Amino acid sequence: MVAEVAAVLPQAQYRGRFAPSPTGPLHFGSLVAAVGSYLDARSQDGEWLVRIEDVDTPRCQPGMGDAILRSLDAFGFAWDREVIWQSRRSEAYAAALDELRRRGLAYACGCSRKEIADSATRPAVDGGLAYPGTCRDGLAPGRSARAWRLRVPDQRIGCVDRIQGEVAQHLAEDVGDFVLLRADGLFAYQLAVTVDDQFQQISDIVRGADLLDSTPRQLWLQHCLGAPTPRYAHLPVVANAAGEKLSKQTRAAAIDPAQAAPQLVAALRFLGQPVPDELVCASLAEVWAWALAHWDFARIPQQRAAII
Ligand code: GLU
C-alpha cells in the first residue's frame, strides 16, 4: 500500500513549467522536456512558466540562464509571466526551512560525508548512501550543525504518474532523512523546487524521468509544507548510444537555433508524435502549428529512457 501523502487539489487552471538548471546549454534532452511540458500545457489551454534553477550556484555557468532563455525564444517557445530565478529566492527557502524547524520536522546534522560513509549501511536511490539518522535525536555534545535535514516517515510515499504509473519509495529505507540546507550554506534542490512549485501554483509537472527518484521526497516536502500536490508526468529521458543520459557530464551537444525546425521535429518524434515526413523541411512556425494541432499525450512512450 502506498500512502498518498497530500490531497491532489483539483486545479481549475492548468499551469505547467520548465525549470532548467543553467549548468550548461540546453541539449536535445532538455528540448524534449521543454517540448513535452509546453505542449501538454498549451493543449489544455494552460499557462507555461519558465524558472531558472540556479540555486546550486557553484555548478552554474555565468550568463547561462540568459543564454537558455534566448535559445528557448529562438526555438519559438512563448512563456507566461515573469521568469523566476532561484538564486533570488533565498528568503522564501529560509522561511520554509524555519517553519519546518519550528515544527520539529527539520533537524541540524553535524555529520561529515566521511562519517556518513562510515556509518551508513544502506545504498540510497540516487547512488549515494541513505542517511542513517545519527543526529535525529539531537547533536552529540561538542558537535555543531553542518546541514539541516528533513525527517522522513517509515512508510512508502508515492503517487500515480500520468506516464510511468505508480511511483513510490520507502523514504526511510531508500533515502533517509534528506538535506534541506547543505553544509556549504546553499539550499538543496529538493527544498527550492518544492517551495517554488507551490509559490508559482504549478498544477502539472512534466519533466524527465531522471527526476522520478526525487518525486517521493518532493511529495513528502509538499505534505510537510501544506502544499498541494501537482499532477506528474515523467517523460522518457534521452540517452546516447552508450545508454547514458544526455547531460553536461556526457558532453551532450547544445541545441542549435539555426536547426530549430528539424530539432523540434526530432523532439516530437522522440515523444511518439507521428510528424509527417513533409514537415521535415518545413519552417519552425509550420512545425509548431502542426504540433499544437496534433499533440497526443497518449502516444508518449511509457519508458524511462530511450536512445536517439
Ligand atoms: N532543474 C532540474 C534540472 O534541470 C529540473 C527540475 C524539475 O523539473 O523539477 O534537471
Query: pLDDT tens for residues 141-188?
Result: 999 999 999 999 999 999 999 999 999 999 999 999 999 999 999 999
Question: Does 4 map to a domain?
Answer: no
Atom nearest to 214 CA in ligand 1:
9
Q: Is the CB of 172 under 6 A from ligand 1?
A: no
The mean pLDDT of 62-89, rounded to a whole number, is 98
The mean pLDDT of 202-213, rounded to a whole number, is 97
Question: Does 272 map to a domain?
Answer: yes
pLDDT at 5 over 70: no
- pLDDT-derived band of residue 1, with 50, 70 and 90 as boundaries? very low
Question: Does 76 map to a domain?
Answer: yes
Q: How far is the CA of 100 from the centre of ligand 1 (A)?
A: 23
For 108-120, the pLDDT digits (tens) are: 999 998 999 888 8
Question: Does 6 map to a domain?
Answer: no
Question: Does 1 map to a domain?
Answer: no
Dihedral of the CA atoms 194, 198, 203, 204 (nearest 10)?
A: -20
Domain count, the chain: 1
Q: Is the CB of 92 under 6 A from ligand 1?
A: no
Q: Give the residue carrying C-alpha cell 509548431.
A: 288
For 31-75, the pLDDT digits (tens) are: 999 999 999 999 999 999 999 999 999 999 999 999 999 999 999
Question: Does 102 map to a domain?
Answer: yes
In this prediction, residue 101 carries a pLDDT of 97
The mean pLDDT of 75-100, rounded to a whole number, is 98
Question: Does 170 map to a domain?
Answer: yes
User: What are the phi and psi torsion angles at 23 (to 5°)?
Assistant: -90, -10
The structure's pTM equals 0.94
Atom nearest to 53 CA in ligand 1:
1
Q: Is the CB of 193 under 6 A from ligand 1?
A: yes
- Residue 41: which domain range? 15-307
CATH code (residue 104): 3.40.50.620
User: What are the phi and psi torsion angles at 31 (to 5°)?
Assistant: -60, -40
Q: Is the CB of 291 under 6 A from ligand 1?
A: no
Question: Does 155 map to a domain?
Answer: yes
Q: How far is the CA of 78 from the centre of ligand 1 (A)?
A: 19
* Among the listed residues 29, 81, 27, the one whose alpha carbon sits nearest the alpha carbon of residue 196: 81
